[in-house]
Structure 1
Amino acid sequence: MNITRYCFTCDLKQDEVLIAEYKEQHQKVWPEIIASIKEAGIVDMQIYLSGNRMLMIMECDETFDPVQRAKKDANNPKVQEWEQLMWKYQQAIPWAKPGEKWIEMEKIFQL
């Protein structure tokens, strides 16, 4: 199996209560969201937090197509409901374009 790793960043609103709620939400991610992630060819996903800055690591198999995933997610009411809920906690990073949330990171080093 060929695995590709993607890394993204996004910020949370600088509010301790909202950050705690966001962490709680991710201890009970809706089953429809987990199913959508797996159906997209994402075999592992991890989110790390430092302060209010997040790093998401996705490991995807050869079936993963980011364009197709975006289309399916846009037409999935449950995914859209989850995204709306998450936007309560999230904010775009300063260099994001309008409407962008998670921004892909550039790999600059590998050992």
Structure 2
Amino acid sequence: MKRYVLALDLVDQPDLIEEYEAYHRSVWPEIQDSIVNAGIHHMAIYRYGHRLMMLMDVSDDFSFEQKAKADGNNERVQEWEQLMWKYQVALPGAKPGEKWVLMDKIFELGG
């Protein structure tokens, strides 16, 4: 199993942050299916202010490229992603159209 940690910012407006969190309290079933089907065993999103951090535990054969390809062919996932852009802000240095940015691990104790 592998672990990835990614970061993203939200639009810094309390009403939009609340809407974003409301969507994530009841994530659409098709979105959950796309996550599981990609080989993601555990996913959690944490928030501090308008900064998000996503933790993903994935199978050894998980691929960001394969997930992106499957998501690109899934109309419901594309609908969700378009909706989420209302709330999300790409981090400085992100590539055009890139949302979540992979973080570098700089320290680990144990494991």
TM-score normalised by the chain length of structure 1: 0.95
Is the Cα–Cα contact under 8 Å of residues 13 and 89 in structure 1 kept in the other structure?
A: yes
TM-score normalised by the chain length of structure 2: 0.95
2:46 to 40, 48, 56: 48
Write the distance in 1 (CA, Å) between the matches of 2:64 and 2:91.
Answer: 20
Number of equivalenced pairs:
109
**How many Å apart are 1:62 and its aligned residue?**
2.1
Percentage of matched positions with identical amino acids: 54
Partner of 2:71: 73
Q: What runs of 5+ residues in structure 2 fail to find an aligned partner? A: none
Partner of 1:13: 11
**How many Å apart are 1:99 and its aligned residue?**
1.2
Q: C-alpha deviations, 1:43-80, integer Å up to 9, x for none?
A: 00000000100000000012312111110101110000
Write the distance in 2 (CA, Å) between the matches of 1:98 and 1:8.
Answer: 16
Partner of 2:95: 97
Coordinate RMSD, CA, aligned: 0.7
- Matched to 2:53, the amino acid is L
- Matched to 2:19, the amino acid is E
Write the distance in 2 (CA, Å) between the matches of 1:53 and 1:95.
Answer: 15
Partner of 1:108: 106
Describe the SS at the equivalent of 1:26. Answer: helix
Write the distance in 2 (CA, Å) between the matches of 1:86 and 1:47.
Answer: 14
